[in-house]
Amino acid sequence: MDLIALLAIQVLYAIASLALISVGLAIIFGMMRVINLAHGEFLMLGGYAAIVATSHGISIWIAILVVAPVVVGLIGVIVELTIIRFLYGRMIDTMLATWGLSLFLVGLTTAIFGNTTVGISAPLGSFQIGAYRTSGYTLFVIAVAALVLAGIFAVLRWTRLGLIARGTMQNANMAAALGVNPPRVYAVTFGIGAALSGLAGAVLAPVSGVFPTIGVAYVAKSFITVIGGGAAILSGTASAAALFGTINQIATFATTPVFGEVALLATAIVLIRLLPQGITGRYFRRGL
């Protein structure tokens, strides 16, 4: 029984981490149809921002929850203003540009921090479930993911900013005709997407450590989750993360981490074959 509870926490954790690393990408892809290949590097920068801030004596919570998203959000806005802005509607070109950006960011961080793994100890200690123990930080990651998803839902559903964002996403020309300034909406949205990626990278830094090329480990999984989820940002990411996270974690527990990854990828292939538009192409179509 307690083992099942522990497994349930691990599954929730896998879902939460998938949702966290994907949601920034989902926003940027869903809103602007920009395929951001530098997404993994935004996560990596978030991790570095948190670790550098912590080593300068800032509280680890502020470093993770405030410093990392703000820093990466600002980087996102700069990237939007200098690169992405000129490439809307040119999907292949954005892929090329963001891939170049990804290589540049990896090179830059390697030059600054060196090609070594840095990390911080996970705070919060551990707790007991029956005969088993697990890390308290796991619950923190789950909580952050839940809050992020709830926050995005609240903003999109109930605020004027969310309404404008949804309107621009549906029909940018009509939104412009109604007095909205789409370029500004795009810049803000891109910044928010980047900030969420930075937050995810920082939240996961104490678990996995950070090194310049860690983005590669994240980016494939985030893309699979976003594509598997389909058009709706929120329900798509959440449902795909739930599916892939559960399968990955249970397969890992039953066999080895290698087969866990294989199971995740196999599921993704089957899913895309059956539902080419992703999960939300057929189910939850009216979701956000």
Partner 1 sequence: MTFNRRRFLQGTAATTAAGMFGSNAWAEDPINVASIHDLSGGLDIYGKPMVDALTLAVEEANAAGGLLGRQIKLINYDTQSNMQLYTQFAQQAALKDKVAVVHGGITSASREVIRPVLDRFKTLYFYNTQYEGGVCDRNQFDTGVTPAQTVEKLVPYAMKKWGKKVYVIAADYNYGQITSQWVKKYVTENGGEVPSIDFFPLDVTNFGPTISKIQAAKPDFVWSALVGGAHISFYRQWAAAGMRKSIPMASTTFAVGNEHIVLSPDECNGMLICYNYFQDLKNKTNEAFVAAFHKRFGADYPNITELAMGTYQGFRLWAEAVKKAASIDRIKVIEALETGISIDAPSGKVTIDPPTHHCVLDVHIAEVNDKKLKVLEDFPQQKPSDTAAVCNLIKNPNDNQQYVIKI
Contact positions toward partner 1, by CB under 8 A?
A: 3, 6-7, 10, 13-14, 17, 110, 114-117, 119, 121-122, 124-128, 131-138, 206-209, 211, 214, 217, 249, 252-253, 256-258, 260
d(CA 39, CA 26): 10
Minimal distance, residue 90 CB to partner 1, in Å:
33
The residue among 69 and 212 lying less far from partner 1, judged by its C-beta, is 212
- Show the DSSP H helices in the chain as ranges: 2-32, 39-55, 60-62, 68-82, 91-113, 136-158, 160-170, 172-177, 182-208, 214-229, 233-254, 257-274, 279-282
The residue among 159 and 213 lying less far from partner 1, judged by its C-beta, is 213
| Chain-centroid distance, C-alpha 139 | 18
Minimal distance, residue 103 CB to partner 1, in Å:
15
Minimal distance, residue 68 CB to partner 1, in Å:
18
Check if the beta carbon of residue 141 is closer than 8 Å to that of residue 71.
no
Minimal distance, residue 192 CB to partner 1, in Å:
27
The residue among 183 and 208 lying less far from partner 1, judged by its C-beta, is 208
Minimal distance, residue 126 CB to partner 1, in Å:
3
The residue among 131 and 177 lying less far from partner 1, judged by its C-beta, is 131
Check if the beta carbon of residue 278 is closer than 8 Å to that of residue 240.
yes
